[in-house]
Amino acid sequence: MIPFVKAHACGNDFLIVEENLAQGRHAELARRLCARTTSVGADGVEFLERTAEGAFNLRLFNADGSEAELSGNGTRCVAAWLAVHERIMEVTLHTHGGPRTCRTLRVEGEECMISTLMGVPQVMPHSFDVDGVGNVQGVDVNVGNPHFVVFTDAEDFSSHGLSWEELGAKICTHPAFPSGTNVEFVRVLDEDRIEFRIFERGVGPTHSSGTGTCASSAASIALRGAGHILAATSIGGTQQVVWPARDEEMELTGPAEIVCVGEVSVDEVLG
């Protein structure tokens, strides 16, 4: 049997599995466990390794089995699990996108409020042609993993005559991004608030993204005159971002909740 924890952050849901159970089958396990109709269902799997020295390492696999550098929400889900069930209130989780230190500010039952230091975002305007669409202008943002931010004024987040889901799918796998990219469609509402939709690499449209929140905020602060303290809302809820200056770390604060713990039979998962 493979024990798992299911958690979500603003509706972006993850399974947490101990690394020593994966035995090299990370991609296959992620694909099978994340299937919405035939398995547990999630946007990704966080494999959690505990080293003999007491460090915590994370490997993140998207629902399609691809490995990503990190997830902001997935990292927060792991921090919530450690806070709720092991009373670890501050922890540095080592991801392939760099170390992320999470501080649990509040625990209410299975729900936590957590602040994470998310590194220093790198922001760079970028435009390229998309077949049948034309020139798309946006912003590359690296927050440990890659994002492309498209600003739009449309209330439904459409752009270039396409829905955000349609254009997101085209950009996500566009040759301008050899490793693929996450895509955000962002509306700057005022100095303190932005709203966005996310099309995630390796998943598709999701309800939220921690790194997507940081990327959307970084582009809005750097290039659209948004303030240094921002509320960023996606389908699954609002997260707070603080980014004092371009060369400083961004802090992301938001909720994460443990949904359930369970176990699945290895035969059922891997056949």
Ligand X SMILES: N[C@@H](CCC[C@H](N)C(=O)O)C(=O)O
| Best CA proximity match to 12, nearest among 269, 164, 200, 183 | 200
Question: CB of 76: closest distance to ligand X in angstroms?
Answer: 8
Q: How far apart are CA 123 and CA 243, in angstroms?
A: 13
Among 145, 216, 234, 239, binds ligand X (CB under 6 A): 145
87 is in an annotated binding site: no
Residues 78-137 close enough to bind ligand X by CB under 6 A? none
182 is in an annotated binding site: yes
72 is in an annotated binding site: yes
Scan for tokens 């999630």, then name that residue: 42
Interaction of residue 241 with ligand X, rule CB under 6 A: no
Strands 134-142 vs 2-9: parallel, antiparallel or unpaired: unpaired
208 within 8 A of 11, measured Cβ to Cβ: yes
Among 62, 116, 159, 220, binds ligand X (CB under 6 A): 62
Q: Which residues pair with 67 in a beta bridge?
A: 61
Strands 111-117 vs 98-108: parallel, antiparallel or unpaired: antiparallel
201 is in an annotated binding site: yes
161 is in an annotated binding site: no
Show Cβ contacts of residue 27 under 8 Å, excluding neighbours closer than 6 positions: 61, 65, 66, 67
Among 116, 142, 159, 211, binds ligand X (CB under 6 A): 211
Q: Between residues 31 and 51, which has the closer beta carbon with respect to ligand X?
A: 31
| Best CA proximity match to 226, nearest among 236, 234, 216, 235 | 216
Interaction of residue 168 with ligand X, rule CB under 6 A: no
Question: CB of 37: closest distance to ligand X in angstroms?
Answer: 20
Written as one letter, the residue type at 218 is A
Among 29, 73, 138, 194, binds ligand X (CB under 6 A): 73
Residues 37-56 close enough to bind ligand X by CB under 6 A? 44
Binding residues vs ligand X (CB under 6 A): 12, 44, 62, 68, 71-74, 145, 182, 200-203, 206, 209-212
